[in-house]
Amino acid sequence: MRGNRLFLYLVAAVLAPACTSRAPVTATAPSEPTDGAAAQPSATHEPTLTPLATARASSVPTPTQAEFVPEPDFFERSPDGQWTASSFGIYPPSWMQVELSDGSVVWEVESDGEGWFEVLLRPVHWSVDGRYLYFTLAPYVDGFVLYMDGSGLQRLDLDDGQVTEVLASEGELQSFSISPASDLLAYVRSAEGFEWLILRDLGTGEERQWKLTDAPAQAGSFSWSPNASELVLLVTQGFSQEEALTDLVLVDLRSGTQERLLEQDPRIFYRMLWIDEHTLYLEDWTVTGWSLDLQTGEMILTPTPIPTSGP
């Protein structure tokens, strides 16, 4: 990984559409694909987590201690309200301050931007047990980029300040998502012209994979079903709004099968959410909302788009 310099500081203060379907495709255990044939199963491996740094006491002032406190470029509160994450510096170096609500602990993560000219450290997921914050580098980029969650994925241990690499950035834009239960990581990997969906168990490191395309494409915009037994994502071929054709792929995580719910759809969807276990809501670039029945395949125009959830 390029320019991999992450530093941590603990401040312990007195004071962190037409719907069609194909025969389901079954997942395989991951291996490096070498041609168009499905990858052959490989042995389960240990988690690919790489310790990067551990917190140390420091006298370097954090924004809360400095005489001039800049407004954060991004702010997020943990679901339990116990922590806040504030990101500063769009032009590297960038840093993120993670602070306990009573101010007794402040972790600071700093990055040199890893070669990106404009980038921000951003939270991705707070673990349900309250111990970890997953975060990424979120670059500002131009062009026809549909599905991008960041570049690389790191994990900050809120107990001891250790930062661990979960997904190497390799200087690329990536699509990924952590399940609501914090136990699974879904991400897209490109290899020799193919796009693959990878599902990793964050506890054991075991991975499964599904081949999404036989040609370069953009894939992402993950959405987990209410009980996290299914996952949907979008796969778009074509690299302009006029050329784009999108498949909606549903993966059954219990059976390991995938199927296309939509194929070669000219619409570009930018929002997806589950209404219930049998219904998916999609919204396209024209802010038109659609309801898709996952059992019948019927797609109905909704009279009013579903509003975005508030903070």
Q: Are residues 168 and 307 in the same domain?
A: no
User: Cα separation of 145 and 175, whole Å?
Assistant: 11
Average pLDDT over residues 249-275: 93
Res 230: pLDDT: 95
Whether residue 283 is contained in a domain is answered as yes
SS3 107: strand
User: Cα separation of 263 and 41, whole Å?
Assistant: 28
Res 164: pLDDT: 95
Count of domains for the chain = 2
Q: Where residue 307 falls among pLDDT bands split at 50, 70, 90? A: low
Angle made by CA atoms 28, 31, 32, in degrees to the nearest 5: 130
Res 240: pLDDT: 87
Q: Are residues 63 and 162 in the same domain?
A: yes
Q: Are residues 254 and 149 in the same domain?
A: yes
Q: Where residue 25 falls among pLDDT bands split at 50, 70, 90? A: very low
Res 52: pLDDT: 52
Cross-strand pairs, 269:
284
**Domain limits for position 111:** 6-16+20-34+44-266
Q: Are residues 274 and 201 in the same domain?
A: no
Q: Where residue 264 falls among pLDDT bands split at 50, 70, 90? A: very high
Find tokens 């390029």 and name the residue. 2
Cross-strand pairs, 248:
234, 262
Calculate the alpha carbon distances from 272 to 117, 212, 300, 307 in Å.
Answer: 30, 19, 14, 12
Name the more confident of 9 and 109.
Answer: 109
DSSP assignment string, 218-248: EEEEEEE-TTSSEEEEEEEESSSTTT-EEEE
Nearest to 189 by CA among 220, 163, 161: 220
Nearest to 170 by CA among 147, 189, 145: 189
Name the more confident of 36 and 78.
Answer: 78
Task: Check: CB of residue 291 under 8 Å from CB of residue 298.
Answer: no
Task: Check: CB of residue 241 under 8 Å from CB of residue 264.
Answer: no
Terminal C-alpha separation, the chain: 34
Pairing of strands 56-57, 6-12: parallel
Average pLDDT over residues 94-111: 93
* DSSP designation for 70: P
Res 247: pLDDT: 95
Name the more confident of 14 and 81.
Answer: 81
Q: Are residues 97 and 137 in the same domain?
A: yes
Cross-strand pairs, 260:
249
- In percent, the amount of the chain with pLDDT more than 70 equals 76
Residue 41 scores a pLDDT above 60: no
Whether residue 39 is contained in a domain is answered as no
Residue 67 scores a pLDDT above 70: no
Whether residue 195 is contained in a domain is answered as yes
Task: Check: CB of residue 70 under 8 Å from CB of residue 63.
Answer: yes
* DSSP designation for 162: -
Q: Are residues 226 and 82 in the same domain?
A: yes
Interval 194-236: pLDDT, tens: 899 999 999 999 999 999 998 889 999 999 999 999 999 999 9
Whether residue 177 is contained in a domain is answered as yes
Q: Are residues 288 and 195 in the same domain?
A: no
Res 309: pLDDT: 54
Task: Check: CB of residue 184 under 8 Å from CB of residue 228.
Answer: yes
Res 3: pLDDT: 38
The mean predicted confidence, pLDDT, of the chain is 79
Cross-strand pairs, 99:
84, 106
Whether residue 1 is contained in a domain is answered as no
CATH number of the domain to which 10 belongs: 2.120.10
Global pTM reads: 0.78
Interval 140-198: pLDDT, tens: 877 888 888 889 999 999 999 999 999 998 778 899 999 999 999 999 998 877 899 99
Whether residue 93 is contained in a domain is answered as yes
Pairing of strands 56-57, 176-178: unpaired
Q: Are residues 137 and 69 in the same domain?
A: yes
User: Cα separation of 297 and 88, whole Å?
Assistant: 45
Name the more confident of 56 and 197.
Answer: 197
The lowest-confidence range among 63-77, 185-199, 254-268, 289-303 is 63-77
Q: Are residues 150 and 295 in the same domain?
A: no
Q: Where residue 59 falls among pLDDT bands split at 50, 70, 90? A: very low
Q: Are residues 177 and 288 in the same domain?
A: no
Whether residue 186 is contained in a domain is answered as yes
Res 10: pLDDT: 35
Q: Are residues 274 and 233 in the same domain?
A: no
Q: Are residues 196 and 222 in the same domain?
A: yes
